[in-house]
Structure 1
């Protein structure tokens, strides 16, 4: 842990304070990266200030750099063990990383100092509830014979009385697309109807059997059993690659407005983080799964780090599913997420994954195929890296700013591509001001498709178009704007991001 140096130069201290004030204003303006830079300059001038470290920790939390946030908060506490805000910051970082017990210890320290602080008590109670829930889940998790919920659903009870819904979303229908053009037209019309219903009326799909069938069809889709999925793009055919959507349903529809609805001639690949944070995650995932059923060979989904139980519990998807449907539906979504591929390889030239490259050298595509992925991700290893790692400017590998996996430099990317005879990688996982970023001499591309992320970042969204034979990426940027299909004066209904998130994360 960093030592808190003492600097007695009054001019230096005044300059440090000025940096802090400027950083505070940038933070208020939601310019978090710029705020981090100025907080860093303030810390360089006065390393002993717990306030500067705690403030930078808060900015890192907004940037989802939970590892850095944890480090800064710990340094702030080392500088001043009585600085309560630093305990709040560290507890938030621990919670974001799924480390509930140390978070509870920090909040307990706050409550002891401020026993009448209602906010502190509320956060302590929220964290304590999670710790107890996790202990209970661990105690009952020893039942190895417990069947997946998808295997407990009686398929005979899914009645044809639902008409168009059931004719489209009957389980295993993705394996039976040869029933004729008329059936496919019905499926297509149903999808369009569902999109418009979600947008205009902000409704959920009626009928329990319908939504069960959507998920069951994808759960048993044989294409979900391969990873990396070998994807071949035919000459003159394009593939659209989208990054994080994060429950921003109206922006998803805007992508379809700009680029056309998915079809046999207009294939898509969505690169993880479909859900959480945004408050229309259910609508997003049902439309994406529906298109997967309709076009199993032309519509592709990659698992992201937010397609996991812990992230769903904290960042809103679980709460939204239970509010709009029920707990069994959440279990079914969890099973579907477990089976999603972790990566795609296009024409043996481009590898697409949500996070990035691995902590170890000489990893092959065959190594990635051998991953046992029908589970919740471990805290380390190839599966964890594919979901969580990030690129960095420096060569080599560095500690993760998120506190999970690692960061990898341009030399790591170059070695991996050469070892596997690939041209470049596409990944997502990070909000970019322009919606995308080319790094590592163009060999590592980040794509992010949630504009004005969480209604506060002001970033553009983007998607990539790849065409055979060279697969040279073409970028299309877009703003958070009114989708044509809505016929609405507002961008989206007045529901805030994180509306269904764990109460602690909303505080």
Structure 2
């Protein structure tokens, strides 16, 4: 019996070593499969779980990473690496208090680990800041950042050589946007006055919109649906250069996650907001899970806005993100949302339309708003806990119920990197589109977009990444890069 046990242990160890090779080659899915094989053979080795947890972190399956870390700690309560992995996953989800608990344990057990101490200090600072911000907000819930802005008092110096918005009309035009894009390509900023004007215009417009927006495709044109662009400005502009710029005959719908990870998020969001201002009925923007405070604190957007402009501007962005709609309905037949569907059947479009997104502000960790931003499809029937740790996973039957309940043809969603930029699932009723090629400069995936004509014919277009300046992803969140496994 002992010899058999030793043989099984040796086999498990050999499979783990195969998994390690896959991990080094950044083939994380294959590594996960091999670690899982090793665990099935010998489920008592805590390090197998933490190794698999690290893979799950790499593919953003934070819920699975937490589950593996928990199991590792059940096998060995003193296995510090499991605490570190769990802290990484909770930090990635913006659950800073939970991360702080584990980082305290890690630092206590390894007092000479400078990296662990630095992460602990950074996380503690974030927790203190969040508590302070909550206290400030509770003192004056109704005050908007916009109320404290005096644009007329902002003077544009004569040395500023960038595009200007007319002081008399206070309206944007295409010439301004074209000049702004050229300026951004050269890594220059626009004047803060014009940036504030753009954000305020979108804030005012979105404040009056429902949570579900009806979209009509231009009768003699088309609508392009794009997924996540994640601050990859040069790839984002490449979409327009190859597929056509927004116009009254060529509408665009960007389905969330405009910012974070990529280090040109300010340029992306200002360009999108400017086009939205110019073409309010032909450029549509849906909120993604990264248009939220917790994600922006971790993945770079907050740091980027503060570095390029100011904390006040980030606060205005945050407020404006709260006003973004949660989903769109194309020609009454195609439902588009960033994440996915729900933890219960028979959800109606009217329910979605009436979600009080502005009153709720941040999406929280449960409910319709959270699930719209975070959920993912799965091949299996029914529902499962989310691999991300937020939202759910929903099967083909869930998609079918939602479509039949609301007399719809299909769901388009984003939220997940795909090797070819898009994937069609659930018997053709659920499509994922992701528009950030070579995600984070490492994944090597293609980007994709969907062109849709008024008769609802769909053309899937894929594209590769284009060169960009040597600014690494998450440049403005570098203090987290080690913890998050970047």
CA distance in structure 2 between the aligned counterparts of 1:352 and 1:284, rounded to whole angstroms:
21
SS class of match (2:435): coil
RMSD: 2.0
Output aligned runs, 1:46-125, within 5 Å.
46-125=42-121
Q: Please report how far the alpha carbon of residue 434 of structure 1 lies from its aligned counterpart in structure 2 after TM superposition.
A: 0.7
SS class of match (2:143): coil
Q: Please report how far the alpha carbon of residue 236 of structure 1 lies from its aligned counterpart in structure 2 after TM superposition.
A: 4.3
Range that drifts further, 294-303 or 132-141 = 132-141
Tell me whether 1:194 sits opposite 2:180 in the alignment: yes
Q: Please report how far the alpha carbon of residue 97 of structure 1 lies from its aligned counterpart in structure 2 after TM superposition.
A: 2.1
Range that drifts further, 453-462 or 472-481 = 472-481
Which residue of structure 1 lines up, in the alignment, with residue 346 of structure 2?
362
CA distance in structure 2 between the aligned counterparts of 1:145 and 1:457, rounded to whole angstroms:
42
Range that drifts further, 496-505 or 34-43 = 496-505
Output aligned runs, 1:126-205, within 5 Å.
126-157=122-153, 165-167=164-166, 173=171, 187-199=173-185, 201-205=186-190
CA distance in structure 2 between the aligned counterparts of 1:233 and 1:269, rounded to whole angstroms:
11
SS class of match (1:73): helix
Q: Deviations over 1:412-466 (max 9, x none)?
A: 0001000000000100000011100011001000000001100111111000011
Tell me whether 1:376 sits opposite 2:366 in the alignment: no
Does the 8 A contact of 1:243 with 1:463 survive in 2? yes
Tell me whether 1:322 sits opposite 2:306 in the alignment: yes
Question: Which of the residues 454, 460, 465 maps onto 1:475?
Answer: 460
Tell me whether 1:10 sits opposite 2:6 in the alignment: yes
Which residue of structure 1 lines up, in the alignment, with residue 441 of structure 2?
455
Does the 8 A contact of 1:127 with 1:504 survive in 2? no
Tell me whether 1:402 sits opposite 2:388 in the alignment: yes
Which residue of structure 1 lines up, in the alignment, with residue 225 of structure 2?
241
Which residue of structure 2 lines up, in the alignment, with residue 422 of structure 1?
408
CA distance in structure 2 between the aligned counterparts of 1:382 and 1:252, rounded to whole angstroms:
29
Unaligned runs of 5+ in 2: none
CA distance in structure 2 between the aligned counterparts of 1:346 and 1:438, rounded to whole angstroms:
18
Which residue of structure 2 lines up, in the alignment, with residue 445 of structure 1?
431
Range that drifts further, 228-237 or 282-291 = 228-237
Q: Deviations over 1:225-254 (max 9, x none)?
A: 122111112444211000000000110011
Quickly say closer, same or farther: Cα 1:348–1:294, change in 2 above 3 A.
same
TM-score, with length taken from structure 2: 0.94
Quickly say closer, same or farther: Cα 1:169–1:398, change in 2 above 3 A.
farther
CA distance in structure 2 between the aligned counterparts of 1:7 and 1:472, rounded to whole angstroms:
63
Range that drifts further, 359-368 or 137-146 = 137-146
Q: Deviations over 1:119-151 (max 9, x none)?
A: 121121112212222222233332135510112
CA distance in structure 2 between the aligned counterparts of 1:379 and 1:308, rounded to whole angstroms:
12
Q: Deviations over 1:248-287 (max 9, x none)?
A: 0110011112101111122111000000000000010011
SS class of match (1:465): strand
Output aligned runs, 1:31-46, within 5 Å.
31-46=27-42
SS class of match (1:61): helix
Which residue of structure 2 lines up, in the alignment, with residue 499 of structure 1?
475
CA distance in structure 1 between the aligned counterparts of 2:7 and 2:445, rounded to whole angstroms:
37
Does the 8 A contact of 1:169 with 1:210 survive in 2? no
Q: Please report how far the alpha carbon of residue 107 of structure 1 lies from its aligned counterpart in structure 2 after TM superposition.
A: 1.6
Which residue of structure 2 lines up, in the alignment, with residue 179 of structure 1?
none
Does the 8 A contact of 2:206 with 2:323 survive in 1? no
Does the 8 A contact of 2:163 with 2:179 survive in 1? no
Q: Please report how far the alpha carbon of residue 365 of structure 1 lies from its aligned counterpart in structure 2 after TM superposition.
A: 0.5
Quickly say closer, same or farther: Cα 1:9–1:136, change in 2 above 3 A.
same
Unaligned runs of 5+ in 1: 1-5, 174-183, 482-490
Q: Please report how far the alpha carbon of residue 168 of structure 1 lies from its aligned counterpart in structure 2 after TM superposition.
A: 8.5
Range that drifts further, 213-222 or 341-350 = 213-222
Output aligned runs, 1:267-282, within 5 Å.
267-282=251-266
Q: Deviations over 1:41-74 (max 9, x none)?
A: 1111111111110011001011111100000011
CA distance in structure 2 between the aligned counterparts of 1:269 and 1:322, rounded to whole angstroms:
28
